[in-house]
Amino acid sequence: MQHKLTKGPLLNDQGELIEAGYHTSLVKSYDRSKIKVKGMRIKEWDYYYVGHDHIGFALTVADNDYLWLTSITFFDFIEKKEHTYTKLGWFPRGKFKMPPTSTKGDIRLKSSKQTIEIIIEGKKRHLKVYVKDFKKGIDLNVNLILEPTIKDSMVIATPFHKKGHFYYNQKINLLKSKGSLILGHHAFELNDAYGVLDWGRGVWTYQNTWYWSSLSGVEEGHLIGFNLGYGFGDTSQASENMVFYDQETFKLDDVTFNIPIKEGKESYLEPWTITSSKQDISLIFTPILDRHSHSNVIFISSLQHQVFGKFSGTIKVSDDRIIEIKNLMGFAEKVKNRW
């Protein structure tokens, strides 16, 4: 059994998580001012990914208390290439004013080199991005509207085994896009592509590793999406694993990413399998592109492998029902941070 969250505040007056568990919407209210942990451990971010079989676009805005980050990536899955533009700065301490909910509150950042706007328009999300010299003298302009196609999302409140540390997270799958991405003189349409919002707020421990996989798409006229992940915090009350099929939502228990080992090292571009102890998840992930990065600055390091590719297989959601996935685009990642 997994515990379903009830409505109310996320934290008590001592800055502790009142309740751990999952839901399909943000029933808990996040209040940054309730956090009591010292030492600049707060992490707040919005991450968007949207794409189809040919191209993809990712945007990150993060206020991590002692470090701010914006990151913009263009993916070319035909050429198996990606380009990322990242800006970093020190000690934002909440200056980005990240909204306490995903349902309202805009984010607007502007500098001489880039402009980022994330505007909530009713249920729609309007992403407007401009980067000067995104790639060797080539500017990038992005104008996308993302609209939800399903009513539910994955929400989880996860405690860490350390006082006052927690993660409150929402993943909104199957956001349908309309708009374009212009790179120099080349325009790329992203109409009827699908994507995900990873909305995260919390107080993290210094060292952790996570595994995360996301898929959003259409197969034979049916909306199919999933969120699969594990690796950090105390998930004894609930996992973050969910499957979305049209307007139905199915909760799953555990999951394991089986990354191939070659010559003693993880081989990220070989086919993975994704399984579970109950044998209700049986997926094959065939990689196309590994967005790999490894940064190490003073006391901060991040080793990331975000791998994009095609998923095929089955997920059993009840004793008499199996959802089949055939060659749908998504991603799976392993991230190891000291932050």
Given this model, what pLDDT does residue 201 score?
Answer: 98
Of 282, 277, 307, 276, nearest to 293 by C-alpha is: 307
Tell me the per-residue pLDDT of 36-51, one tens digit each, with 9 for 90 and over: 999 889 999 999 999 9
Query: Is pLDDT at 295 greater than 90 in this prediction?
Result: no
Which of the 8 DSSP states describes residue 312?
E
Which of the 8 DSSP states describes residue 34?
G
Given this model, what pLDDT does residue 335 score?
Answer: 97
131 sits in which H/E element: strand 124-135
Query: Is pLDDT at 231 greater than 90 in this prediction?
Result: yes
Q: Looking at this protein, which amino acid is placed at residue 211?
A: Y
Residues of 294-320 as b/e, b for ≥16 C-beta within 10 angstroms? eeeeeeeeeeebbbbbbbebebbbeee
In whole angstroms, what is the distance from residue 109 CA to residue 18 CA?
A: 33
CB 32 within 8 A of CB 65: no
Tell me the per-residue pLDDT of 52-96, one tens digit each, with 9 for 90 and over: 999 999 999 999 999 999 999 999 999 999 999 999 999 999 999
Task: Tell the burial category of 159 from Cβ atoms under 10 Å away from its Cβ (0-12, 13-18, 19+).
Answer: buried
Tell me the per-residue pLDDT of 181-229, one tens digit each, with 9 for 90 and over: 999 999 999 999 999 999 999 999 999 999 999 999 999 999 999 999 9
Q: How many CB atoms lie within 10 A of CB 152?
A: 18
Q: Looking at this protein, which amino acid is placed at residue 182?
A: I
Q: Please state, for a pLDDT cut of 90, what percent of the chain lies above it.
A: 96
Domain ranges in the chain are 8-338
Q: Residue range 289-310: average pLDDT?
A: 90
Given this model, what pLDDT does residue 94 score?
Answer: 93
Residues of 252-270 as b/e, b for ≥16 C-beta within 10 angstroms? beebebebeeeeeeeebbe
Q: What region does 331 belong to: left with phi over 0, alpha with psi -120 to 50, or beta?
A: beta
CB 63 within 8 A of CB 94: yes
Given this model, what pLDDT does residue 39 score?
Answer: 84
Given this model, what pLDDT does residue 274 score?
Answer: 98
Q: How confident is the model at residue 284 (pLDDT cuts 50, 70, 90)?
A: very high
> Looking at domain 8-338, does it have CATH number 1.10.3720.10?
no
In whole angstroms, what is the distance from residue 21 CA to residue 18 CA?
A: 10
Given this model, what pLDDT does residue 123 score?
Answer: 96
Q: The whole model's pTM is what?
A: 0.97
Q: Please state, for a pLDDT cut of 70, what percent of the chain lies above it.
A: 99
